[in-house]
Amino acid sequence: MAGICLGFEVHQPFRLNPSFRPEAAKGRRDLKNHYFDPGNRAILRRVAERCYVPATGLLIDALDEGLRCSFSLSGVLVEQLEAWCPEALSLFVEAGSHRNAEVLAQTYYHSLAGFFADRDELAAQIGMHADLMAELFGRRPRVAENTEFSLDPGIAAAIRDLGFSAVYTEGADRILLGRTPNETYTCEGMPVLLRNCPLSDDIAFRFSWKGWDKQPLTAGKYAAWIAGSPGRCAHVFVDFETFGEHQPAGSGIFGFLSALPAALDRAGVACVLPSEAAAHPPAGRIEIPDPVSWADLEKDTSAWLGNHLQRSAFFALEHSPARTMRPELWRYLGTSDHFYYLASKDGSCGEVHRHFCPNGRFESYEAFMQVLSHLERRCLPRAKHSLVSLPADRAFHFSFPDGTYAGWSAHSLREFEEALDQAPAAAVDRHLARGDFARWIEGSFGERRLAREVAACETVDAVKKAVRERRCRLCAR
């Protein structure tokens, strides 16, 4: 018989302002108010009214009755609650401080920093978040998760070196290889707790699905499933917004949550906290050759980095000069949601992406690059503006000889160097022969001397060499 380790992910992003224009922020110092959507307050208030306030109130009563659970609240959510809904934050503090609750660490900005080439930013953001949790709840987290449970060996090692006792990830079939997710495993010497995907999704996605043959899902039925699940502890982790937002109050989701503690008790299912599960002797090792996450059916990074728009925006973020010069604003741009909105998936996963991205992926991409480009221009002196990322309408978009888009774009001189190696050769050769590279360099960056050098180049390697040397000179100034 398995116990249950019940956990809740609580996060809302600062969505970007789709109407941002650089001229509106000219001479202004309050850039955050210009970069982010004024509608964030209304969204936060709506979710608090439907979910955070009623669901947390129910949980506090359940904790008093013996339920045990964990919370993972992003730092950007806490900022919004402090500003726009302090009553909900007070309830979360009461719940998270309860003797039967535990809070987890995550990246403060719910970001993709774990996928940077270095792990310094990941460590910094997890440290910031742990400090915030200690301030709010009076105790530092002992167990961590990376954003959306994403994990690879490098991330596991980084979190291990920060001193945490365990890390969460998704119990994906490709890493379990037929084993149960209801045990503790290790990766890079770090205890790993695995989310039980079927049991979690029974609540998060299937609860009100009319086509599900297990309808209706009652607390008693669910407790019996937990009791019959093999292994020591089923880790059931869901978005907290499941209760009242994704699954509306009329679905009966609040009644299910209210009845769950008694149902678990009758079924003999013990409630376990993550740090207790982490202390279980490991049942074996798991190998994670490619990153795993709880996102979409693929359970990988494709929700955020699966197409060229996403990878291009991520490249610009990772290599942005704002990373060191204006980190207090740059870090908000790393929130995973900004990249989630750019997905181009079909089927049920595509429907979910589009639901959370009402502005459309191309519009979201343009807004992201517009904000990042403006921030970089505000960071750098005018003499170094050739190092900035360009907004989408001024980027270089590679195309085949027939004029169709080749799937590669360059928003900066640095990305241009990368694209010359990775874009299809037919597209690169076409642009080189037509003199397109030189015209773009002069027209978008005002680099006349570099443009002349590139125009005289007969090979792609010569173009790369000229661009690299110019970029190095600019960086050295």
- Is 180 inside a domain boundary? yes
Q: For the segment 402-437, what is each residue's pLDDT rounded down to a tens digit?
A: 999 999 999 999 999 999 999 999 999 999 999 999
Question: 176: domain CATH number?
Answer: 3.20.110.20
261 with 410, same domain: the answer is: no
Distance of alpha carbon 87 from alpha carbon 93, whole angstroms: 10
| Mean pLDDT, all residues of the chain | 95
- Is 303 inside a domain boundary? no
75 with 218, same domain: the answer is: yes
50 with 186, same domain: the answer is: yes
128 with 246, same domain: the answer is: yes
Q: For the segment 312-332, what is each residue's pLDDT rounded down to a tens digit?
A: 999 999 999 999 999 999 999
How, if at all, do strands 143-145 and 166-170 pair? parallel
Number of domains in the chain: 2
The alpha carbon of residue 472 and the mean position of all alpha carbons in its chain are separated, in whole angstroms, by: 32
Strand partners of residue 167: 144, 192
Catalytic: 287? no
265 with 397, same domain: the answer is: no
Residue 203: domain span: 3-278
Q: In 3D, which of 341, 263, 270 has the Cα closest to residue 307?
A: 341
- Is 404 inside a domain boundary? yes
Predicted confidence at residue 361, as pLDDT, reads: 87
- Is 426 inside a domain boundary? yes
pLDDT above 80 (res 358): no
Domain end position, chosen among 211, 246, 278? 278
- Is 262 inside a domain boundary? yes
- Is 19 inside a domain boundary? yes
E strand segments, 213-350: 233-239
- Is 41 inside a domain boundary? yes
Domain end position, chosen among 278, 302, 337? 278
Q: Which of 121, 148, 245, 453 is catalytic?
A: 148
Predicted confidence at residue 202, as pLDDT, reads: 97
- Is 304 inside a domain boundary? no
pLDDT category of residue 360 using cuts at 50, 70 and 90:
confident
pTM for this prediction: 0.95
Query: What does the pLDDT average to over 205-222?
Result: 94
Domain end position, chosen among 278, 312, 346? 278
